[in-house]
Structure 1
Amino acid sequence: MMTRNALRRLGATLALGVVAHGATAHADVLFADNFDRTNSRNIDASLDGIIDNTGSALPVDGVYSTPWIDPTNDPGPQDGNAANGGGSQVLDNQLQLAVGAGTSNAFVNHNFINPEILAAGGFTVSLDVLGYAGTSEGQGGAFAIGMSQAEAAAANDGFTGAPNNVKFTNAFPQVFANTKSDFWIGLRGDANQELAWGHGPVGIGDLGTGFFVSDVDAKTGTIAVTFLVSSFDSGSSVDYQVFYNGTSQGTGSFNWSESNANYIGIDSRDGTAVVFDNFVISTIPEPTTLASVAVICLFAAARRARQAA
């Protein structure tokens, strides 16, 4: 059994190893978007600002799908009916979703099961959530992974899942049983300024097992998750580490619910607009893998030590 001092020494040793190798760390960007392009209600009317190393040769007007969006969004303005979705646009070199009344979402038209991910041992998704008006747990910005194309394309309102009982995330809770992604995370504006994440269709009743909440410093910031992946087969385990502005907020694991299904999308809810920037999906560099494995191993060792005490 490892003592607490032994665990601390192991953690320090691994951390030093990561720092020592940090200068040579390199991650391969599979997809990135800084939205530095002409203002438009069509969010991919231009490929400016997009790095596409997915292998899918994503075309103009085909980088993203927007399954839940106000039908009058383009050319706009949206119709103001929240029940049929909010607007979306690129404005001032940033992405805005949930523009006006109603939620909206978007997913990248690529299945992120690239062999480069397996070769590297995993991938990281990072997203800047820069602003929104709401100040409750029902408003904010999020992303989701682990969806089939059909699941992503069927996603509806980010709050209720209406009208077809399907949504990307449970970050902005009302109805919990309809989330189609395998993992989701969102930054939301309630009184405690929370980061919320979970494994699929889970809700507050699963707090601490499949649903997690961490109080953070602000309702905006950079949310990121590193996923350790050895297989995209259904049932295979994925370990992860959650970050807010570069600081770890927790670790955990989940299982892929479907083989070779890893579409990734952005979700939002607000009464004005949710502003995003710097959406990046990349493989993980070796030091990141070491750091993630170190943390996960430390937690597992500590848990075993407590159980054996």
Structure 2
Amino acid sequence: PFAMYLAFGAPHFPIQAPSTDADPFMATYSQGWDVVRQQRYDRQLANGVIDSRYPFPPLGGTGPHQAEPIVPIPAWNTLGAARKADLTRRMALYAAMIKGIDDNVGKVVSRLQQIDRLDNTMILFVSDNGGNHEGGVYGSNTALTAAALTNMGQPGQNDGIHYGGGWAHVSNTPLKLFKHFTHEGGILAPAIMQWPDGFSAKGTWVETPTHLIDVMSSIVDATGATYPTTFKSHPVLPLEGTSLISMINGTVPDRTLCVEHETNRMIRKGKWKLVTESFTAHDSEFTAHQKLLYDMDADPGEANDLAAQQPAKVVELVDEWNAWSTRVGLPASRLIVSPPLNVTPASTPADLFLDTFNRAAATDIDASNSSMSGSRTPPLGSGTTWFEGFEGSGTADSIQVTDNILSMANGVGMSESGLNHNFIGTDITDTGGFSVSLRILSINTDTTDTANRFAGFGVGLNATQAAGGNDIGGITPSPIRGNTGNPGTADCFLELDFNGNVKLWSDGVLRATVPVGKTSGTLTAAFACNSFSAGATVTVSAYLDGTRLDLDAGSASMDQSFTWDEANTNYLALSARALNYVQVDNFAVRKLPLSTAMSIEGALKAGLNGSDTSLTADPDGDGMDNFGEWAFGTNPAKADGEVAATSLLLVQPEAGNFRFAHRRLAGFSGAGLGYQYQASDNLSSWEPVTVTEESATPLPASPGYEVVTLSLSPSNLVNKDRLFLKIVAEP
């Protein structure tokens, strides 16, 4: 056996080839990339390299590289003469380099034929990646002219020629994207393998995905070598690949292939391929780190993302890729963020505005009004809802809809986005005020400045403030949340931070810190007010996952208060700060009483979704609707026994007294909830009765609930030989 290594002038940057080798290609490439790309596509179809499953790709756009912008590739006929001449020469030089390799490989093959060794020599010819768009669309910002054009790529020029994204798109026909990225244009490279004496299959196309890790396994298989376990007393990692020989001969391996490059990721398992790219496409076809799922048997051109239709498959592939990533030692920061559990609350008559973000991924987060509802839609709706005023990373994907949730503070920095609506009106003051809820899924950051890594919402902004925003230390414009010593523009701001605290701010002054021991959950606040006049008092109560928080530990009250800075001005905003990302969902603004928001949250916590979370729904079929289940502390997703369902315990009368006990929400009045008591001796006519509360004891197994013991007035028992009692929970 023998092995030979030949180092050719690789068709890599800088592009350089003798002028006499490039000149014959000038006529071909002077036709421009649109014509050449169509010719290649047609030739591939005619020769059976591809079939109709591969659509002819549009012009597309570039991806990120260093400081090069992400821009669309222009049509050739829109370019000036100097640019066309420059680009034609670049591609001709590149083609000359390809021909140089082809000619020299041909010499090797001819020599093997001469010595009668060709049939028993395994030759594997393969590239390491797809066409490279580095250098931007044109390979250079400036077109070379005159002598610089004539001498392009020649000895002594040191001109560092790239051929650019336009020609790279031609090289990758009909695939999507380029080197660096994990769509097929970046990672699918053609391979030619010859070994007539070793292959039973000849002249065959094999479309089973393979990998460069398979080359070593193939050499070991072909030569019968023993793969070492140690080298100079150092352990050798085991083989990762599969022999291509058995694959060519018809044995298809059952395996999963994973790729990661510069936080661009891919996993291929059977027909399924999951892709994430680290940037937002020029036409917003996908956003940064969006999970894209393709059926590669039906759609090898990656034209149809099936992630929304196959969420379970997405979760499965994310888990497998993350396991592979951990095994091979990639940094934890490069793991794919698993899709969050997406739950959707039912709409209610109290909704002023509800955004569940259940819509197509986009960096323009109100490009669609899908999943927006409430009495203020319209005017809120498509293109009129979210300002996206501050994106601290400096890129559009700092705030984006992805995986049917809202992702903020993506990358290094902070983001703030106000709502383009003034939440005032008698419909709010007539009910005593409004509530705001936000489901906080994740605050993903490092461990620096953890007290200022958070997600939350602010109220009481004017339109200019809501349209602006800044980092917490920024001065102009002012931040919405603010920080100690740097006033924020929100009259009141409530947040959950990375240290597991809920904090209340007013005009950038920290008013309360409540340890909650968690960094995710549904944050809800009630803003009780009867006026939007400047200086009018607003009372704030706060809840996390339905549990009331003590915002004023130094007094009997659990609430805080603030005043409106400006008259009739109540724009709202979201703010998030992290070094990686913050995920939030289900932003809701509702009229009081708060019981509407809290009962919806109770249904969501129980695992219900969509219409099953409606206040009047009874998904467990036990005769009590979701509002009642929340009010009495029972499970809306599990049928309760008769006594448990009513949460009522009858006690035998003693000495003319009638005592009873039931479960109720602790602090129920603050949540806008009331309990009414009615009695009957015939189960047909019911009369209100007065009760006396004797005791209330917290229920440790049901946080936020208590058991209350009450007694009826003796007058209700006069001349009664039987008595039935009914408890009604109502807003």
* Cα-to-partner distance string for 1:255-306 (whole Å, 9 max, x where unaligned): 11110110000000001110000100000138679722899xxxxxxxxxxx
- 1:149 alignment partner in structure 2: 463
Distance 1:274 1:213 in 2: 21
CA distance 1:70–1:227, change in 2 (3 Å): closer
Distance 2:672 2:349 in 1: 19
Is 1:217–2:517 an aligned residue pair? yes
- 2:506 alignment partner in structure 1: 199
Work out which of the residue numbers 9, 23, 32 in structure 1 matches 2:354.
32
Distance 1:129 1:58 in 2: 23
- 1:49 alignment partner in structure 2: 371
Work out which of the residue numbers 418, 432, 440 in structure 2 matches 1:121.
432
Amino acid of the structure 1 residue aligned with 2:464: A
Distance 1:293 1:132 in 2: 28
- 1:182 alignment partner in structure 2: 491
Counting only pairs closer than 5 Å after superposition, residues 223-238 of structure 1 correspond to structure 2 as 223-238=523-538
The question of whether the paired residues in 1 share the 8 Å contact of 2:594 and 2:671 is answered with no
Amino acid of the structure 1 residue aligned with 2:425: N
Is 1:259–2:567 an aligned residue pair? yes
* Cα-to-partner distance string for 1:91-150 (whole Å, 9 max, x where unaligned): 100001101011111111110003210111111000011002235112120100001112
Runs of 4+ in 1 over 6 A off after TM superposition: none
SS at match of 1:240: strand
Is 1:168–2:480 an aligned residue pair? yes
- 1:269 alignment partner in structure 2: 577
The count of corresponding residues between Structure 1 and Structure 2 is 245
* Higher radius of gyration, 1 or 2: 2
Is 1:249–2:549 an aligned residue pair? yes
Is 1:67–2:389 an aligned residue pair? yes
Distance 1:55 1:189 in 2: 33
TM-score (norm 2): 0.32
The question of whether the paired residues in 2 share the 8 Å contact of 1:56 and 1:110 is answered with no
The question of whether the paired residues in 1 share the 8 Å contact of 2:594 and 2:672 is answered with no
The question of whether the paired residues in 1 share the 8 Å contact of 2:393 and 2:413 is answered with no
Amino acid of the structure 2 residue aligned with 1:35: F
The question of whether the paired residues in 2 share the 8 Å contact of 1:105 and 1:266 is answered with yes
The question of whether the paired residues in 2 share the 8 Å contact of 1:54 and 1:114 is answered with no
Amino acid of the structure 1 residue aligned with 2:545: N
- 1:300 alignment partner in structure 2: none
Question: Cα offset for 1:198?
Answer: 2.0
Distance 1:285 1:27 in 2: 12
Question: Cα offset for 1:72?
Answer: 5.7
Amino acid of the structure 1 residue aligned with 2:437: S
TM-score (norm 1): 0.74
SS at match of 1:104: strand
Amino acid of the structure 2 residue aligned with 1:117: I
CA RMSD of aligned residues (A): 2.3
The question of whether the paired residues in 1 share the 8 Å contact of 2:475 and 2:486 is answered with no
- 1:282 alignment partner in structure 2: 590
The question of whether the paired residues in 2 share the 8 Å contact of 1:123 and 1:282 is answered with yes
The question of whether the paired residues in 1 share the 8 Å contact of 2:388 and 2:418 is answered with yes
CA distance 1:38–1:241, change in 2 (3 Å): same
The question of whether the paired residues in 1 share the 8 Å contact of 2:458 and 2:481 is answered with yes
The question of whether the paired residues in 2 share the 8 Å contact of 1:97 and 1:104 is answered with yes
Gaps of 5+ in 2: 1-347, 551-558, 597-666, 674-731
* Cα-to-partner distance string for 1:132-175 (whole Å, 9 max, x where unaligned): 22351121201000011122223211x21x241511114xx4x5
Question: Cα offset for 1:176?
Answer: 3.3
Distance 2:349 2:480 in 1: 27
CA distance 1:293–1:72, change in 2 (3 Å): closer
Is 1:110–2:418 an aligned residue pair? no
Amino acid of the structure 2 residue aligned with 1:188: D
Gaps of 5+ in 1: 1-25, 77-86, 204-210, 296-309
SS at match of 1:100: coil
The question of whether the paired residues in 1 share the 8 Å contact of 2:470 and 2:477 is answered with yes
CA distance 1:294–1:131, change in 2 (3 Å): closer
- 1:23 alignment partner in structure 2: none
Distance 2:582 2:590 in 1: 23
CA distance 1:248–1:293, change in 2 (3 Å): closer
